[in-house]
Every structure is written in structure tokens, then in C-alpha cells.
């Protein structure tokens, strides 16, 4: 370790050391680099220009407005207007719900369907799947079987008001709990329901009797649904929750009431009609491009 | 630990440990259940453990005479051990949450292991656990060496290290149980915040008292940076965490700030946490260990001092660049933007100064992986500050904000700069603490270096791509004014980048594990303490 206050010349830089020494670290007497001062001046210049042009310094209750007179709220509104203007050109056509005429207009559909696909992906895919493939509790939209109907008008109603949703005109679809049926009977009934799609279910059995007595009002005499109460067909292979005996036992024990949100507060009428057409086409197997 | 304390010091230690145990008991009893009571039990456990440790060796042989003639390195050594433990916890959780983002189905079914709870465990564990312990431990070392004085007393360093780690452990276990203030990097609840204030004041006074005893006429520049770190973090921490507890017996509280003021205070805190926790303190580390390892004096000492004031002055203004295009008034955003650009000058001056310091030592950079760690740290410091100033420009931020570009910027700073400089310092310091000439395995350092550099590059490049892709996808509209991409598509587009990030992170973690192993091997059976002495003049080498 060198003694304190010993100045020497550093061979690499040619500058001397000031003689300060901290545990062997010396202080090299390099002059302050000019470049840094110029860089600071430049950066400061940039700042001054920005301060002159943009809102910058507070002045008590007000602030300097800047020569450009920019206001971020106005800018945002302006950008929004520009975009939605371009969209309104074609979207406004969907304000009316003459779905047949809309579908017939090929040029309009070519413009609208890609936009509908994004609208669907941003709002609906989280529950119904990116390609409408659904999932347990969330109906498949691409298989052409419907809880309610594949008619675009009906679909628009479902989207607008939801199912079991917080909306005065919502659709109701409640599957009551049948936990009061004795467990052995419930097991037999579950097997019966599980056999319905294969056609192996025999209505002349006690389980078939239970079905006719308790279930047919909503699911139809043969279990084929289609009564517009939201009760699915139990004879087709499409399922909502599952039609294996265990899942049917669950359904019978606790009942079911899936929630489809109402969208009238979040999407415009035109957007809802657009989506209704998109979902219709999904069901016909022609949409579904994510 | 106790072997280095005198009998009166052991008595004080014992007394403080009893106090800690009583505090813990009181907390546990008052809160009865929930997070706060668990934290009470943790404090009780630590207190009782210390009571047994100190009580059991109370009348052991006293440390040798002439203790003031030696530096006090035991707390540094202990702190470095904790640094490495937290490194593995923090990075391990980092790799795990990175994997979850690629593979969300793998999330286990318990609330405590959900992404939302683990993410702050990563950030707190790595910034405060890993970074904070490294800063505290090295600051004790640098302070003593550059002042040529022993720490002012032997109790407060232990209070600082143990108390600080109790804070970290409280914070992290709290998040796992769902307890949070919801302020990023300041999630810990009110009593933990209060506890940290006590610890921090102890730290600050210890630092000042030791500086006052220095045997050098001037205060070395590293100490300025460390001091700024301690002082400003105290200020930020107190202001941002001002809150009214719902009840004194529960963890929940209401912040006194609300609305856009709350956002501004939070990001004034958040950015200066970056500035004074992740930058100033580590610049102090750089300005000491780089000259020591390279054998070269700082290229321009004057510049290092001016940069210090530049950084300190400009940083305080820039927090608003985290709130571009929000409810925060435009003028505050402009100020944040312009000061961020000016901030680049002292930042690059520091990075350039560090690199110019290596003039005359480039052959060492080539041969010595430890020095290479520090060189890479300086380069990444330059890169990430340039990137930061760029991101702070409003129109650029409109693209980058909310995207993984921010995450890329964060990790170019934290992996490339913070972690690299820590590893450089550790590899310089650990052999010295063990009284060895070098680390147990120089080859492992070489491996660690390349793992760390590769991991960082993979991570950062993946996140740049990810972020810019996201930003462009979100703002793309087609001719007809409709969005070109859905959000889900932008999420799907991230998959390859998230996988790459996980791989890069795993490489980086592997390096850190190697480091921990190497340090253990170096310190095992090491002679007590470093060979250098404070006051006794030694013959020139
Ligand atoms: C093993 C290496 C690491 C991996 C794999 C990793 C991974 C991650 C991941 C996955 C996130 C969450 C990103 C998101 O929410 O989208 C994150 C955030 C973060 N990490 Fe790391 N990390 C690593 C190392 C570090 C280190 C060493 C530090 C600090 C010293 C650090 C500091 C942070 C911070 C501050 C954030 C929050 C960023 C923000 O909110 O913008 N990480 N990290
Ligand atoms: C000149 C220096 C720097 C400037 C001007 C700067 C600027 C910025 C900007 C503009 C953002 C993005 C804010 C947003 O869009 O939300 C950001 C985020 C961040 N930066 Fe930097 N940065 C600098 C240096 C650093 C360094 C060296 C580190 C780490 C060691 C760092 C760590 C972070 C972290 C952790 C965030 C994420 C905060 C969050 O959102 O959670 N920055 N920085």
C-alpha cells in the first residue's frame, strides 16, 4: 500500500494521480471530458424545445400549455373518431336486422366477417373457444346443434340479453335439481339418459317412466329437446356438461344453470347483429377462422 | 457470529433477541390468526433461535484482543450467503413463473401457487432478497476498506442483516398467503414497512458513524453512491407506504394517497427504486470492485462525482414516464420524458467511465471471467439506460407500454447489469473473505459467465421480439377500421418467446447455482476473516 499523498504519473493515460488513495485505489486526475458537457447541452436543448412545444411546467393552478396546444384527451377522442368513422361506413348497415339481405351482399360480408371474427375472439372466445368449439359448461357454437335456435334473430336475442343473466329480458334456462329422487333410481335414470343418444334407452323400464314423468316437460317426450326452453336435446351426441352416467348424476344432484352474459350494454346493436351472423355461419361450418 | 462478539456485546445481543421474541409473541397474540400472526410467530422463532445461539455461547472464549485492528467481515460473509440463497429462490421462482406463462395448464390447484401470488415473490425475492443483501454485504466491506476503519460497532450490522431478511421473509410469505398492498415493489403490509424503517435507520446511522471514524481525508466515491441508496430508499419507502391500518391487529391498511396522486407517488417510488436500489447502490459496487479487480484507477474520478449528482438530480423527476397516456396531466408526462432524456447523459458517462477504466487492463478482461462479469455489467448498464431513455419518449412508450418490451428492458437491466455486477463483486470478495488466493473452481466461474451471458441474451432478445410484436399487433387496424388481430392472437404469438425466455432464465439460474456451489467450496474450512488490516500500515506490495 502506498503512503498517502503520493502523486505519480499513470503510465497508461499519462495523467497524474492526485495522491488520494483508498485501500490501494488511486485517484486519476483525468480532466472532465468535454463530450459529456456537449451531450448535456444537447439533451437540455431537446428538453427546452419540448417544454416550449408541449404542456410542461406547472404554474400554480395552471401550467404552460405549449405552442402546439396539444391536449391528450382531445387527441384520444380524435383518433377514436377517425377509426370509428371508417368502421361506421359499413357497420351501420348492420343496424337493421334483415339478415337475409345482409348475407346476400357478398361485398359487405367480405368486409364485415373478418372484423366479426376479431370481435368474436375478443369477447366470446374465452368461453366458447377460439373456433366455437366450446368446453364443459360452454356450448359448442360450431356444430349446428342449438340450445335455442340457429336462426340469426334468435341468436341476436341470446347475445343481447344473455341466458340466466342480469338483464330484464334475459332467457331463462334452469335445470332443477332432482336430488329428491332416491339414489338407486337416480343411478338407473342416469344410465337411461346416457343411453339415449345411442338409441339403447328403453322407455318401458322404471327409469324410462321416471324420465317421462319428470323430464319430458322440458326435454321433450323422446328427449329430443327443441321446446325453446333452453333444455338441450338428450338424444344427439352434442353435450353441454356431459352425458356419461357420472356427469348426469352430478347434473341431477345439483341442477344446472349456465350463465351467458348479456351484451347489450357493451356492444352496439350493429355489433350484436354482426356477431349473430358470424355465429350463424360458425354453426353452418363456414366461419370459424379465428 | 457470536465468536466475534465480546461479552458485553453478547449481552446486548441477547437482550435484543429477547425483545424480538417478545415483539413476535405480542404480534401473534394480538392478531390471533391470519398473516400477521404467522409473521409474529416467525419473529418469535427468529428471536428464540438467537436467544439460544447467543445464550448458549455467552461465556465462550472472548474474541482476541486488538479487535479494532481488524475489519469486521462476519456480517459481510453471512450477508453474502443470504444473497446466494435468495438468488436461487428468486431466480427459481422467476423461471417457474416464466414456465407458467408458457404452460399455464401446469398451475397447481392451490391459491398459494397461482401466478399472481408467485410473481411478487419473484420480484421481491430477487430485488430485495438477492439485490438488497448483496448491497448491504458489500457496502460493509467497501465502507471499511475505503475508510480504513472498522465498522462503528459490532451489533448494528447484525441487526441490519437479520432484521432486513426478516422483512424479506415476511413480505414473501405474506404474498403467498394473498396479503398485499397492491403497490408494485412495495407490496409488503404496514407493520413490515414500519419494521423496515427501523432497520434502515440503523443501517444509515451505522454507515455515517463508520464514515465519521474514517482514516482517509476524503470519502471515496463508492460511499456516495451507497449513501444515496440508503438515504433515498428510506425517503421513498416512507412516503409511498404511508397508510392507515384498518385495525392494529390485522395486516390490511388503506394508503393515504388516492387516485392519480397515488399512481404518481407509486411510480415516483417505483422508478427511484430502480434508480437508487438497482442503480446507485450497484454503481457504488462497480466503482469499488472494478478498480480493485482490474488494478486500474477509475478513468475519471471527477466524472464519477459529477455523474453522481447528475443521476441523483435527474432521476427524482422521471417517475411520470411510467404513466404516459394516463389520467396523469400531460405536463407531468412531458417533464418525466424530458428529464429521462437528460438522464441518459450521466448514465452513459458512468458506463463509459467504467469501460474506460479498463484501458490498460484489457488483457485481464480477456483472461479473468470475474473482471469480464463487471465489463459486461457496464455494457448492459449502458444498453438498458439507453433503452430506458428511449422508452420514456411518449410516442415510443405508446408502442412499448403494457408489452413485454418493458419486461425485456427490466431484465436487460437486472440480469445484464445488476446480477452481473453482483457476481463480479462476489467472485472478488469471497476468496478474500476466506483468506484464499482465488475461488475454489476458476473453471466454474468461466462456465457461470457464459451461462449468464447466453441466458441474458436469450431472455432479452426474446422479450424485445415479444414486446414489439405485441405492440404492433395491438395497434394494427385494417382498411375498414377494424382491429387486425384479436387479443388472443397476440397471446398465441407469444408462445415461442415465452419458451425461449424460460430457457434463457434456466441457463441464468444454472449459473447462479454454480456460483453458490463455488462460494461454498471456497469458504469451507476457510481461515477466519480476510488478511488485510485497517490501521496498521503494511509494507507496499
Ligand atoms: C432466472 C432469471 C429470471 C427469470 C426467468 C425471470 C422471469 C420473470 C418473469 C416471468 C417475470 C414476469 C413477467 C410478466 O409478468 O410478464 C419477471 C418480472 C420481473 N423480474 Fe424477473 N426473472 C429473472 C431474473 C430477475 C432478476 C435477477 C431480477 C432483479 C434483480 C428480476 C426482476 C424482475 C422485475 C423487477 C420484474 C417485474 C417487471 C415488470 O413489472 O415490468 N428478474 N421476471
Ligand atoms: C436512464 C435510465 C432509465 C430510464 C430513463 C428508464 C426508463 C424506463 C421506462 C420508460 C420504463 C417503462 C415504463 C412503462 O412503460 O411502464 C421503464 C421500466 C422499468 N425499468 Fe427502466 N429505465 C432506466 C434504467 C433502468 C435500469 C438500469 C433498470 C434496472 C436495473 C431499470 C428497471 C426498470 C424496471 C424494473 C421497470 C418496470 C417497472 C414496472 O412497470 O414494473 N430501468 N424504465
Write down the pLDDT at residue A6: 66
Least confident of A120-134, B67-81, B509-523: B67-81
Task: Tell me how far apart the alpha carbons of residues B408 and B419 are, in angstroms, rounded to a whole number.
Answer: 15
Q: Is the CB of B389 under 6 A from ligand 2?
A: yes
Q: Report how far residue B518's alpha carbon sits from residue B524's, in angstroms, rounded to the nearest whole number.
A: 10
B317 and B364 belong to one structural domain: yes
A76 to chain B: which residues are within 8 Å by CB?
325
SS3 of residue B61 by DSSP: coil
Residue A249 CA to residue A178 CA, distance in Å, equals 9
The DSSP bridge pattern shows strands A25-28 and A17-22 to be antiparallel
Average pLDDT for chain A: 91
Residue A110 grid cell? 367480405
DSSP secondary structure, B392-407, as one string: TSHHHHHHHTTSHHHH
CB pairs A-B closer than 8 Å: 160
Separation of CA B174 from chain center: 19
Residue range of the domain that includes B53: 1-59
A44 interaction partners in chain B (CB closer than 8 Å): 342
Condensed to tens digits (0 to 9), the pLDDT of residues B335-384 reads 999 999 999 999 999 999 999 999 999 999 999 999 999 999 999 999 99
Residue B96 domain-assigned (yes or no)? yes
Whether residue B119 has its Cβ less than 6 Å from ligand 2: no
Q: What is the mean pLDDT of residues B397-414?
A: 97
| Chain B residues near residue A40 by CB distance under 8 angstroms | 310, 342, 345
Evaluate if residue B70 carries a pLDDT over 90: no
Paired sense of beta strands A58-59 and A62-63, if any: antiparallel
Mutation site, A9, A37, A43, A92, interface B, largest B CB count within 10 A: A43
Which residues have CB under 8 Å from B15's CB, separation 6+? none
Q: Ligand 1 center to residue B415 CA distance, Å?
A: 9
> B299 vs A2: CB contact, 8 Å cut-off?
no
Domains of chain A: 34-63 (no CATH), 90-171+259-283 (1.10.760.10), 174-257 (1.10.760.10)
Distances (CA, A) of B312 to A39, B226, B288, B387: 18, 12, 19, 19
Tell me the pLDDT band of B527, cut-offs 50, 70 and 90: low
Residue B453 resides in a domain:
yes
Are A141 and A283 spatial neighbours (Cβ–Cβ below 8 Å)?
Answer: yes
User: Cell 456537449 sits at which residue?
Assistant: A38
Count of other CB atoms within 10 angstroms of residue A9: 10
Specify whether B31 is located in the same domain as B152. no
Residue B392 lies in a domain: yes
Q: Is the CB of B406 under 6 A from ligand 2?
A: yes
Average pLDDT (B310-314) is 94
Co-location of B208 and B275 in the same domain? yes
Q: Mean pLDDT in chain B?
A: 94
Specify the pLDDT at position A288: 40
Nearest CA in chain B to A20: B218
Residue B152 to chain A, least CA–CA distance (Å) = 18
ipTM: 0.89
- pLDDT reported for residue A289: 42
Q: Does B3 have pLDDT greater than 90? A: no
Residue B541 has pLDDT above 50, yes or no: no
Q: Does B256 share its domain with B384?
A: yes
In this prediction, residue A287 has a pLDDT band, given cuts at 50, 70 and 90, of very low
**What does the pLDDT look like over A20-43, one tens digit per residue?**
888 888 888 888 899 999 999 999
Residue B163: exposure state from Cβ atoms within 10 A (0-12, 13-18, ≥19): buried
Residues B78 and B29 in one domain: no
Element (H, E) at B508: helix B495-523
Measure B462 CA to ligand 2 centroid, in angstroms. 18
Asked if B217 and B359 sit in the same domain, the reply is: yes
According to the model, what pLDDT value does residue B539 have? 38
In a domain, B530, yes or no: no
Q: In the structure, what pLDDT confidence band is assigned to residue A2 with cuts at 50, 70 and 90?
A: very low
In this structure, are B106 and B240 located in the same domain? yes
Residues B83 and B29 in one domain: no
**CA neighbours within 13 Å on the CB side: how many for B467?**
24
Tell me what pLDDT residue A31 has.
87
- The alpha carbon of B390 and the centre of ligand 2 are apart by a number of angstroms equal to 10
> Is B304 found in the same domain as B155?
yes
> What tens digit of pLDDT does each residue of B8-42 get?
999 999 999 999 999 999 999 999 889 999 999 99
CA atoms of B133 and B125, how far apart (whole Å): 10
For the cut 60, the answer to whether the pLDDT of residue A99 exceeds it is yes
Written as nine digits, the cell of B406 is 418493458
Q: What is the pLDDT of residues B134-161, one digit of tens each?
A: 999 999 999 999 999 999 999 999 999 9
Cα–Cα distance, A159 to A268 (Å, whole number): 11
Q: Quick: pLDDT tens for B199-246.
A: 999 999 999 999 999 988 899 999 999 999 999 999 999 999 999 999
For residues B23 and B100, state if they share a domain.
Answer: no
- pTM for the model stands at 0.91
Q: Does one domain contain both B132 and B50?
A: no
B116: left (phi over 0), alpha (psi -120 to 50) or beta: alpha
Residue B540 lies in a domain: no
Give contacts of B364 with chain A, Cβ < 8 Å. Answer: none
Q: Which residues pair with A9 in a beta bridge?
A: A16
Are B46 and B89 found together in one domain? no
Using CA atoms, how far apart are residues B466 and A264, in angstroms rounded to an integer? 35
* Distance from the alpha carbon of residue B308 to the mean position of ligand 2, in angstroms: 18
Instruction: Locate B127 and state its grid cell.
Output: 430485488
Instruction: Tell whether ligand 2 has an atom less than 6 A from the beta carbon of residue B401.
Output: yes
* C-beta neighbour count of A241 within 10 angstroms: 16
Position B155 in a domain: yes
Cβ of A110 under 8 Å from any chain B Cβ? no
**Quick count: other Cβ atoms within 10 Å of Cβ A161?**
18
Last residue of some domain: B21, B37, B59? B59
Domain contains B132: yes
Is B112 part of a structural domain of the chain?
Answer: yes
Tell me the Ramachandran region of residue A86: left when phi exceeds 0, alpha when psi lies from -120 to 50, beta otherwise.
Answer: alpha
Number of domains composing chain B: 2
Q: What is the pLDDT of residue A13?
A: 82
Domain at B390, CATH number: 1.20.210.10
Residue A35 makes CB contacts below 8 A (sequence gap 6+) with none
> Is A201 in contact with A195 (CB distance < 8 Å)?
yes
Amino acid at each position: 500500500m502506498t503512503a498517502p499523498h503520493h502523486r505519480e504519473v499513470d503510465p497508461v493515460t499519462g495523467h497524474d494521480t492526485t495522491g488520494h488513495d483508498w485501500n490501494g485505489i488511486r485517484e486519476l486526475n483525468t480532466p472532465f471530458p468535454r463530450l459529456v458537457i456537449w451531450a448535456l447541452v444537447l439533451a437540455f436543448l431537446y428538453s427546452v424545445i419540448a417544454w416550449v412545444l408541449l404542456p410542461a411546467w406547472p404554474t400554480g393552478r395552471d401550467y404552460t400549455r405549449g405552442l402546439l396546444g396539444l391536449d391528450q384527451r382531445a387527441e384520444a377522442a380524435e383518433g377514436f373518431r377517425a377509426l370509428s368513422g371508417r368502421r361506421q361506413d359499413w357497420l351501420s348497415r348492420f343496424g337493421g336486422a334483415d339478415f337475409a339481405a345482409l348475407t346476400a351482399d357478398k361485398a359487405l360480408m367480405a368486409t364485415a366477417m373478418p372484423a366479426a371474427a376479431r370481435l368474436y375472439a375478443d369477447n366470446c372466445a374465452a368461453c366458447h373457444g377460439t373456433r366455437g368449439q366450446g368446453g364443459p359448461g360452454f356450448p359448442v357454437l360450431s356444430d349446428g346443434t342449438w340450445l335455442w335456435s340457429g336462426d340469426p334473430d334468435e341468436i341476436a336475442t341470446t347475445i343481447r340479453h344473455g341466458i340466466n343473466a342480469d338483464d330484464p329480458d334475459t332467457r331463462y334456462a334452469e335445470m332443477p335439481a332432482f336430488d329428491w329422487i332416491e339414489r338407486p333410481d337416480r343411478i338407473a335414470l342416469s344410465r337411461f339418459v346416457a343411453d339415449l343418444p345411442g338409441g339403447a334407452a328403453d322407455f318401458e323400464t322404471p327409469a324410462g317412466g321416471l324420465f317421462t314423468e319428470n323430464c319430458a316437460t322440458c326435454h321433450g317426450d323422446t328427449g329430443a329437446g327443441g321446446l325453446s326452453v333452453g333444455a338441450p336435446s338428450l338424444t344427439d351426441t352434442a353435450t353441454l356438461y356431459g352425458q356419461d352416467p357420472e356427469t348426469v348424476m352430478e347434473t341431477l344432484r345439483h341442477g344446472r344453470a349456465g350463465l351467458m352474459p348479456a351484451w347489450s350494454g357493451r356492444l352496439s346493436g350493429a355489433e350484436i347483429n354482426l356477431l349473430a351472423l358470424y355465429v350463424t355461419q360458425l354453426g353452418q361450418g363456414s366461419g370459424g377462422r379465428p | 457470529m457470536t465468536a466475534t462478539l465480546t461479552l458485553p456485546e453478547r449481552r446486548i445481543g441477547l437482550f435484543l433477541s429477547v425483545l424480538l421474541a417478545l415483539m413476535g409473541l405480542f404480534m401473534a397474540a394480538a392478531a390471533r390468526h391470519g398473516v400477521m400472526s404467522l409473521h409474529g410467530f416467525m419473529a418469535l422463532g427468529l428471536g428464540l433461535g438467537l436467544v439460544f445461539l447467543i445464550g448458549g455461547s455467552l461465556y465462550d472464549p472472548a474474541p482476541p484482543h486488538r479487535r479494532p485492528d481488524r475489519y469486521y467481515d462476519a456480517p459481510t460473509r453471512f450477508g453474502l450467503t443470504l444473497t446466494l440463497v435468495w438468488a436461487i429462490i428468486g431466480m427459481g421462482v422467476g423461471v417457474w413463473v416464466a414456465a407458467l406463462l408458457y404452460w399455464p395448464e401446469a398451475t397447481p390447484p392451490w391459491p398459494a401457487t397461482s401466478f399472481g401470488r408467485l410473481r411478487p415473490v419473484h420480484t421481491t425475492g430477487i430485488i430485495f432478497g438477492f439485490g438488497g443483501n448483496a448491497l448491504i454485504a458489500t457496502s460493509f466491506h467497501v465502507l471499511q476498506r475505503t475508510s480504513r476503519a472498522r465498522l462503528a460497532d459490532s451489533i448494528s450490522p447484525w441487526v441490519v442483516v437479520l432484521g432486513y431478511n426478516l422483512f424479506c421473509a415476511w413480505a414473501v410469505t405474506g404474498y403467498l398467503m394473498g396479503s398485499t398492498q397492491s403497490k408494485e415493489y412495495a407490496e409488503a403490509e404496514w407493520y413490515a414497512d414500519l419494521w423496515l424503517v427501523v432497520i434502515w435507520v440503523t443501517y444509515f446511522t451505522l454507515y455515517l458513524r463508520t464514515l465519521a471514524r474514517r482514516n482517509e481525508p476524503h470519502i471515496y466515491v463508492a460511499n456516495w453512491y451507497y449513501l444515496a441508496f440508503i438515504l433515498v430508499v428510506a425517503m421513498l419507502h416512507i412516503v409511498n407506504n404511508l397508510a392507515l391500518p384498518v385495525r392494529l391487529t390485522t395486516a390490511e391498511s388503506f394508503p393515504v394517497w388516492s387516485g392519480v396522486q397515488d399512481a404518481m407517488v407509486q411510480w415516483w417510488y417505483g422508478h427511484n427504486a430502480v434508480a437508487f436500489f438497482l442503480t446507485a447502490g450497484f454503481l457504488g459496487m462497480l466503482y469499488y470492485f472494478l478498480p480493485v479487480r482490474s488494478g486500474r484507477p477509475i478513468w475519471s474520478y471527477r466524472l464519477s462525482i459529477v455523474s453522481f449528482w447528475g443521476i441523483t438530480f435527474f432521476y427524482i423527476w422521471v417517475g411520470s414516464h411510467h404513466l404516459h397516456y394516463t389520467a396523469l396531466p400531460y405536463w407531468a408526462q412531458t417533464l418525466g420524458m424530458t428529464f429521462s432524456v437528460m438522464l441518459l447523459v450521466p448514465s452513459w458517462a458512468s458506463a463509459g467511465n467504467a469501460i474506460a477504466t479498463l484501458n490498460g487492463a484489457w488483457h485481464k478482461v480477456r483472461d479473468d471471467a470475474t473482471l469480464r462479469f463487471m465489463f459486461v455489467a457496464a455494457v448492459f448498464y449502458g444498453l438498458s439506460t439507453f433503452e430506458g431513455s428511449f422508452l420514456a419518449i411518449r410516442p415510443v412508450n405508446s408502442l412499448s407500454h403494457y408489452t413485454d418490451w418493458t419486461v425485456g428492458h427490466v431484465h436487460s437491466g437486472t440480469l445484464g447489469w445488476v446480477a452481473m455486477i453482483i457476481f463480479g463483486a462476489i467472485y472478488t470478495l469471497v476468496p478474500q473473505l476466506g483468506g484464499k488466493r482465488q475461488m475454489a473452481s476458476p473453471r466454474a466461474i468461466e462456465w457461470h459467465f457464459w451461462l449468464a451471458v447466453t441466458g441474458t441474451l436469450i431472455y432479452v432478445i426474446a422479450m424485445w421480439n415479444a414486446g414489439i410484436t405485441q405492440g404492433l399487433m395491438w395497434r394494427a387496424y385494417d382498411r375498414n377500421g377494424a382491429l387486425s388481430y384479436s387479443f388472443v392472437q397476440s397471446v398465441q404469438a407469444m408462445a415461442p418467446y415465452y419458451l425461449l425466455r424460460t430457457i434463457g432464465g434456466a441457463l441464468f439460474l444454472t449459473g447462479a447455482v454454480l456460483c453458490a456451489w463455488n462460494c461454498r467450496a471456497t469458504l469451507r474450512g476457510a481461515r477466519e476473516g480476510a488478511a488485510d488490516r485497517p490501521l496498521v500500515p503494511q509494507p507496499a506490495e
